[in-house]
Amino acid sequence: MTSRYEFIDAEYANPSVVVGDRSPAIVQMCAWLGVSRSGFYEWKSRPESATARRRDELKAWVKHFFDVSDGTYGYRRIHTDLVEQGVPAGPELVRSVMRELGLEPCQPRPWRVGLTERDGQAHHVPDLVQRDFTASAPGEKLVGDITYVETWEGWIYLATVIDCYSRAVIGWAIGEDYKTPLIEKAIGMAARNHRLAEGAIFHSDRGSNYMSRQFADTLRHLRLRQSTGRTGVCWDNALAESFFAALKNERVHRTEYPTREHARRDIIKYIELWYNPRRRHSAIGNKSPVQVHTEYLKSQLSA
């Protein structure tokens, strides 16, 4: 019976269907559905049920976490947020509520080949990663890559260094070209701000800048072992590609950049205020990179 009353009430709220409290349409709908008009008004005057109140509260929480993610989170990540907040709700209920609210996370564009060029170095560089992007501790295995972002003033290029253990972007550099000095700035930032294991692996694609003698010398100076995938095989550096896909899907493709400086600040904000400290990753238990790194440090202190 309640479902029939809810249907009538929904139609009643539609001004194109009924006008006024005692519209003939209410009488007709009650007759069509086999309920009395007095029963409908009695139901309508009752206090809101506890179930309805809980669902309304859940809607508010779901909308909050969706907005906090800037419209990027699907139901699984929002469900994890709810669990941490102590809000009881199963994943399928969260999915149902998101559909009801019309909340759809932004979708990635088709993948395009990036900036990989022919090898710029004659000597052989082995693949020490073999598509295994896991690590037993922070600073043991790193991946790097470059992407480009369009602005009204022209292109800018972003070089990143990602820690395989926490998935954190621990080094980055932004400039107007993608030559070797840009990637040296990124790996230099990672070495300054994070404790890298001696003999740690740095893995990249076979772009000419990464294969240059100059960059090989930089890695030797930092006591890092160089690793590279095969030419033109994006899966050999999938972790680095994954970050760029997230950045562009969640931020760059939804924003217009009038200036290079505007783009630079927006990208830094995304990395330092969202991706590292707050964005959840399914590969690390739906936790953020900072959370994973902090938990590791605590485990070492208690060991």
Can you give the pTM of this predicted structure? 0.70
Query: What is the pLDDT confidence band of residue 26, given thresholds at 50, 70 and 90?
Result: confident
Query: Given this model, what pLDDT does residue 239 score?
Result: 92
Higher pLDDT, 84 or 176: 176
Distance CA 64, CA 70 (A): 10
On whether the CB atoms of residues 232 and 119 are closer than 8 A, the answer is no
Position 129 in a domain:
no
Q: How many domains does the chain have?
A: 3
On whether the CB atoms of residues 295 and 285 are closer than 8 A, the answer is no
Distance CA 256, CA 28 (A): 53
Signed CA dihedral, 59, 62, 63, 64: sign only = positive
Same domain membership, residue 84 and residue 21: no
Same domain membership, residue 257 and residue 236: yes
Position 109 in a domain:
no
**Mean per-residue pLDDT, 200-207:** 93
Reported in sequence order, the residue ranges of 152-206 that DSSP labels E, i.e. its strands, are 154-163, 169-175, 201-204
162 DSSP β-pair partners: 143, 169
Is 122 exposed, middle or buried (CB count within 10 Å of its CB: 0-12, 13-18, 19+)?
exposed
Distance of CA 284 to CAs 149, 180, 290, 293, Å? 28, 31, 11, 11
What's the token pair of residue 302? 């208690």
Same domain membership, residue 279 and residue 215: yes
Q: What percent of the chain has pLDDT over 90?
A: 47
- Mean of per-residue pLDDT scores for the chain: 84
Query: Given this model, what pLDDT does residue 18 score?
Result: 44
Query: Given this model, what pLDDT does residue 153 score?
Result: 93
| 43-93 pLDDT per residue, tens | 777 766 666 777 788 888 888 888 888 888 888 888 888 888 888 888 888
Same domain membership, residue 234 and residue 157: yes
Same domain membership, residue 205 and residue 57: no
Position 12 in a domain:
yes
**Mean per-residue pLDDT, 20-41:** 75
Ramachandran quadrant class, 82 (left: phi over 0; alpha: psi -120 to 50; beta: rest): alpha
Same domain membership, residue 159 and residue 85: no
Q: Range of 62's domain?
A: 50-101
pLDDT-wise least confident of 5-14, 181-190, 289-298: 5-14
Distance of CA 31 to CAs 14, 24, 153, Å? 19, 11, 66
pLDDT of residue 2 exceeding 70, the answer is: no
Distance CA 251, CA 276 (A): 14
Most confident listed range (30-34, 101-105, 109-113, 255-259): 255-259
Same domain membership, residue 69 and residue 40: no
pLDDT of residue 303 exceeding 50, the answer is: yes
Query: Given this model, what pLDDT does residue 49 score?
Result: 65
pLDDT of residue 114 exceeding 60, the answer is: no
Query: Given this model, what pLDDT does residue 50 score?
Result: 63
